[in-house]
Amino acid sequence: MIRYSLKCDKGHGFDSWFKSADAYDTLKTSGMVACAICGSTAVEKTLMAPSVRTEPGERPLADQKTPLEEAMTNLRQEVEKNSEYVGMSFASEARAMHEGEVPSRAIYGEAKIEEAKKLLEDGVPVAPLPFTPRKRTN
């Protein structure tokens, strides 16, 4: 596996993993390498720093978070800090709040795709999160 730092023609930078350098070239030639932010296929490799550790436990420069990764981390922290995790009860809790059976509050959790579609069809205001909730042990 090889990781490349890439940049699209709109200036978005992102990293992606490929099976090999040849695999990247093949995918790029066929238009299958796209910007993770805007979807543009006008993507080029950028200069990458080698992943070198100087101290045990020190994070190498090449492993620093991209702006997108940083935004995802911040979003997760805000959701976890300001809402209640309801696990697989998300669909029933969201529906109960929508129908006024329980007080409204900020929640997040997990739902089967069929449950999420049904909520949307029924006008329940829900949105998918771009991350998987952490598993709760209690």
pLDDT at 15: 86
pLDDT at 105: 96
pLDDT at 60: 55
For residues 35-64, give the mean pLDDT: 72
Q: 3-state secondary structure string, the chain?
A: CEEEEEEECCCCEEEEEECCHHHHHHHHHCCCCCCCCCCCCCEEECCCCCCCCCCCCCCCHHHCCCHHHHHHHHHHHHHHHHCEECHHHHHHHHHHHHCCCCCCCCEECCCCHHHHHHHHHCCCCCCCCCCCCCCCCC
Residue bearing the bigger pLDDT, 59 or 28? 28
Decide if 40 contacts 34 (C-beta within 8 A). yes
The whole-model pTM stands at 0.52
pLDDT per residue over 68-114, tens digit each? 888 888 999 999 999 999 999 999 999 999 999 999 999 999 999 89
